[in-house]
DNA sequence: GCCAACGTTGGC
DNA sequence: GCCAACGTTGGC
C-alpha cells in the first residue's frame, strides 16, 4: 500500500514546470540536509509512493502538482561536489551522509494555496500546516490524500 | 526584512 | 548529556 507524502520545493530551485520539463519528467531530489527528512526517504519511502509537489518560499505557496517516488534512496551527489551549494565536507562516497530519491511528475494541478489548505477542516492535522513546521518532507494520511484529490480534481 | 519555531552545534 | 547560542526555514 503506497504511502503519501508532501515534498516542498522552492520554485526558484525546481518548480512544477521545471519538473515537467526534466528528462522523463523526473528529478533527483537534491539538497535535503535535515536528518528527519533524510530518514523518511531512507526508511519510510518506497518506489511508487504518492507525492504532493509543494511550492514553498515564494509568492504563492501551495500544492502545484502530483508526483511519485521514482527510485529507492541513494546518495545525493551534490554532497561530494565542492562547487555545490549543498557540499558537505564531512561526507565521503564511502560514508555518504545525505540521501535522495528521484521524483517523477504525475500531473500538474491547479495551485491549491496554503491559505485554502488552512481553510479546509479535513486538512487541519496535516503535518505541513503545523505551527513552526520546517520539514521539507512530511507524511500525508490516506484520508488527507483523498480530500486533496477531490480539491485538486 | 521580520520573526517564530526549531534543528544543530559545541562547550562544559 | 545538558543547554545556550547560532543558523535555517518559510510565511508574512
What is the C-alpha to C-alpha distance for residues A80 and A82, in angstroms, rounded to an integer?
6
The range of the structural domain enclosing residue A52 comes to 4-143
CATH code of A54's domain: 3.10.590.10
> Mapped to the 3 state alphabet, what secondary structure does A38-97 carry?
HHHHHHHCCCCCEEEEEECCCCCCEEEEEEEECCCCEECHHHHCCCCCCCCCCCECCECC
- A:19-58 Cβ neighbours of strand B under 7 Å: 34-36
pLDDT per residue as tens digits for the range A8-32: 999 999 999 999 999 999 999 999 9
What is the C-alpha to C-alpha distance for residues A95 and A9, in angstroms, rounded to an integer?
26
Residue A149 lies in a domain: no
pLDDT per residue as tens digits for the range A34-76: 999 999 999 999 999 999 999 999 999 999 999 999 999 999 9
**Which residue gives the smallest C-alpha to C1' distance to B4?**
A132
User: A130 beta carbon < 7 A from strand B?
Assistant: yes
The 3-state DSSP class for residue A26 equals strand
Residue A107 lies in a domain: yes
User: A46 beta carbon < 7 A from strand C?
Assistant: no
How many separate domains does chain A show? 1
**Cell 526534466 found at:** A22
**Which residue gives the smallest C-alpha to C1' distance to B6?**
A132
**Residue A84: exposure state from Cβ atoms within 10 A (0-12, 13-18, ≥19):** middle
Could you tell me the pTM of the whole model? 0.94
Residue A151 lies in a domain: no
Q: CB–CB of A101/A72 below 8 Å?
A: yes
Residue A150 lies in a domain: no
| CB contact set of A100 (below 8 Å; sequence gap of 6+) | A28, A29, A30, A32, A41, A73, A74, A75, A76
User: A134 beta carbon < 7 A from strand C?
Assistant: yes
Chain C positions within 7 A of any protein Cβ atom are: 8-12
User: A134 beta carbon < 7 A from strand B?
Assistant: yes
Reported as a pLDDT band with limits 50, 70 and 90, residue A1 is low
Residue A132 lies in a domain: yes
How many Å does it take to go from CA A92 to C1' C5?
29
Amino acid at each position: 500500500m503506497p504511502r503519501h507524502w508532501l515534498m516542498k520545493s522552492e520554485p526558484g530551485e525546481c518548480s512544477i514546470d521545471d519538473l515537467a520539463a526534466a528528462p522523463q519528467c523526473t528529478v533527483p531530489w537534491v539538497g535535503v540536509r535535515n536528518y528527519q527528512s533524510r530518514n523518511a526517504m531512507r526508511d519510510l519511502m518506497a518506489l511508487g509512493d504518492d507525492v504532493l509537489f509543494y511550492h514553498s518560499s515564494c509568492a504563492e505557496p501551495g500544492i502545484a502538482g502530483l508526483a511519485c517516488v521514482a527510485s529507492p534512496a541513494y546518495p545525493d551527489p551534490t554532497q561530494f561536489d565542492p562547487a555545490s551549494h549543498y557540499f558537505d565536507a564531512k561526507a565521503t562516497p564511502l560514508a555518504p551522509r545525505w540521501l535522495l530519491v528521484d521524483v517523477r511528475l504525475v500531473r500538474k494541478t491547479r495551485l491549491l494555496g496554503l491559505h485554502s489548505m488552512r481553510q479546509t477542516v479535513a486538512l487541519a492535522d496535516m503535518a505541513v500546516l503545523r505551527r513552526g513546521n520546517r520539514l521539507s518532507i512530511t507524511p500525508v494520511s490516506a484520508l488527507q490524500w483523498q480530500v486533496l484529490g477531490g480539491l485538486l480534481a
